[in-house]
Structure 1
Amino acid sequence: MSRLPRYTFWSLQFRKLHSSHIATLSFPSSFSTSTPRSPATPPIHVGLTEYAGRGVFASRRISAGELIHTAQPIVSHPSLSSLHTVCYFCLRKLPSSAPSLEAPQTVSFCSTQCEQQSKASQNRLANKSTSRASIVCKDGMGLKYPLLVKRLACQVISGVVSSDVLDILQPEISSSDRISKMKKEFALLKSTFEDSDFGSEQMPFLTEEWYAGVLARIRINAFRIELAIGSYEDLLSLAAASVEAEAAVGNAVYVLPSLYNHDCDPNVNIVWIENVDAKVKALRDIEEGEELRICYIDASMDYKARETILYEGFGFHCNCLRCESKD
């Protein structure tokens, strides 16, 4: 997400990429979570804002309740608590069943298609990475972001994506303490690959510098995936979908959704209905040329709480109308 108030370098990077029509980027069907088809061009475009770098703008008038676009992730991974209750590939909820005692760490898929799309290298590493979870947690590092890096590395090795696929996204500015933790995490990741018989010739990109750069982008751009109850058509409202969501089933990183800037009184919302595909819908009427903004945090929090979380978690002070009035 474009989460810092002004970032000159990334503004320049965007100008270089503007001619590539980033708003209509498509990704290889090999890791699509639905049947490939040719979607209509969404009614939005990406441009530069005055204070927040890149932003997403309406190309025409958008009506309240309109589905603006659906986005598939570059990379996703289920949370450890959901590892045996959701599809390992698309994060769709699996039918309720008791976990296997013979193979408690075996991952599952919701369909043959998802199983096939999950590359062989990912399957080889699935159990390896989860078996090391206790080691990482004991070190106090946390696991959700390193697991996303692990899966991305698998996709690079498999040829699904390039090693620089996340370069367009803005990274966080890492503290010295976090950099120290990154080094430990990188050593763990590399040993996991080596234990799975991957040679250095298969992963020349896997360096400490690559890991640090990817993790810095994932940390500030990863979305927490909460599957809304019921089908898309049955949802009474986007607000209800957010409030009535089940516990998070995983995390994912996208391109276009990561370019939406923040507002404590957003005009669009992102929900996940059945799987990891993100659906962006208008919360109110939006005029042509108006910037589309999402809320990065719980919008029901008071001003002080929002100010603290946005600064400590995302590195900026919000100057939206709601915060200006200290609502």
Structure 2
Amino acid sequence: MAVFSSFSRRLFRKQFPLFSFYFSFSTVSPSPPPIRVALTESVGRAVFTTRPIAAADLIHTASPAVCHPYSGRASCYSCLAALSNSQPLRAPFCSQHCHQRSKGYYDVEMKANWVAFDDYCGSRGLKYPFLVKRLACMVIAGDARSDTLDILQPANFTPEMVSKMEEEFVLLRNAFAEALIGDDHIAFLTKQWYINVLARIRINAFRIELVGGLYEDLLSLAVASVEAEAAVGNAVYILPSFYNHDCDPNAHIIWIDNAHAKLKALRDIDEGEELRICYIDASLERDARRELLFQGFGFQCNCSRCLHGD
């Protein structure tokens, strides 16, 4: 998908059995977040409030299922936080905690020679294959399951698009094989697995833009995230990917110092109201918004703002 601003993301239309449940994501209090996920007839899976939420309240936070920094950015290899100038390049972690929690997949990655894979993806401006590489390392290390992202909605790839992914897949698998990682450890790494994971990453990856510092109000955070131009990498989440789109959203995802996402209320929200975020730059004109949403996410936006021509 195209990379959009942090006023962003995700629509889900895949049909699942009817469900309604709570997620135990971290919040500012030990109580569960005030949300439930349910299946709707109009937009499929959606997130709803279970109590009134005040403007600027933190609804919940979420850690990424998988993330990866952009090449050339001085970012922690684990949480994408900025590295200090004194941080050694051979240990690209912001803290001992990040180093320890990432040791498994990082050790796997360090066994392989990634020059061919990195050069191929870098020369073509490809970012999402690096997330697939990270997830593959996590699976090999036992830090994640091979079906970690299966719950997420996949993009639809044409046969031509799939054929273009053949070489990057071969380079990825060869890097592991040449590192003498046993066949039993990479049995999951088939071309079909690669395509399936990439299809989910394509429409569910968030571009992480850190605003940094301390902000007193939500407006300042929103403005800072747009003006900072501080994109440090990409990440895929589970719960934040369940939020549907609206060009006049009632919630917004922000990142302060690392890839831990914070879902904040943009206005007062009633109990039972659906929580929605904006996948693109909300300041664009209607036709531009609709075109971006159709090209990037495959749907025609019929939110109230678009229907009224705003």
In the superposition, the TM-score normalised over structure 1's length comes to 0.85
1:172 aligned counterpart, secondary structure: coil
1:128 aligned counterpart, secondary structure: coil
Q: Distance in 2 between matches of 1:216 and 1:262?
A: 19
Partner deviation per Cα, 1:252-284 (whole Å, 9 max, x = no partner)? 000000000000000000000011000000000
Q: Distance in 1 between matches of 2:56 and 2:88?
A: 39
Matching residue's letter, 2:83: L
Structure 1 residue 158 corresponds to structure 2 residue 141: yes
Structure 1 residue 324 corresponds to structure 2 residue 302: no
Structure 1 residue 66 corresponds to structure 2 residue 57: yes
Unmatched 5+ stretches in structure 1: 27-33, 101-105
The question of whether the paired residues in 1 share the 8 Å contact of 2:104 and 2:143 is answered with: no
Q: 1:137 aligned to 122, 136, 143, which one?
A: 122
Which residue in 1 is equivalent to 2:100?
116
Q: Distance in 1 between matches of 2:287 and 2:185?
A: 49
CA 1:38–1:325 in 2, change beyond 3 Å: closer, same or farther?
Answer: closer
Higher RCO (C-alpha under 8 Å, 6+ residues apart): 2
The question of whether the paired residues in 1 share the 8 Å contact of 2:38 and 2:45 is answered with: yes
Aligned residues: 301
Q: Distance in 1 between matches of 2:106 and 2:87?
A: 24
Which residue in 1 is equivalent to 2:191?
208
CA 1:326–1:66 in 2, change beyond 3 Å: closer, same or farther?
Answer: same
Unmatched 5+ stretches in structure 2: 1-8
The question of whether the paired residues in 2 share the 8 Å contact of 1:238 and 1:269 is answered with: no
Q: 2:155 aligned to 172, 181, 185, which one?
A: 172
Q: Greater share of helix residues, 1 or 2?
A: 1
Identity %: 54
Structure 1 residue 220 corresponds to structure 2 residue 203: yes
RMSD: 2.4
In the superposition, the TM-score normalised over structure 2's length comes to 0.89
Matching residue's letter, 2:80: L
Cα deviation, residue 247, structure 1: 2.3
Cα deviation, residue 130, structure 1: 5.9
Which residue in 2 is equivalent to 1:29?
none
Partner deviation per Cα, 1:116-166 (whole Å, 9 max, x = no partner)? 11133423425833663222333x3x3311110111111111112211111
Partner deviation per Cα, 1:151-210 (whole Å, 9 max, x = no partner)? 111111111221111111000011222111222221111012123221211121111111
Which residue in 1 is equivalent to 2:75?
86
2:275 aligned counterpart, secondary structure: strand
The question of whether the paired residues in 2 share the 8 Å contact of 1:223 and 1:252 is answered with: yes
CA 1:130–1:257 in 2, change beyond 3 Å: closer, same or farther?
Answer: farther
Cα deviation, residue 80, structure 1: 0.9
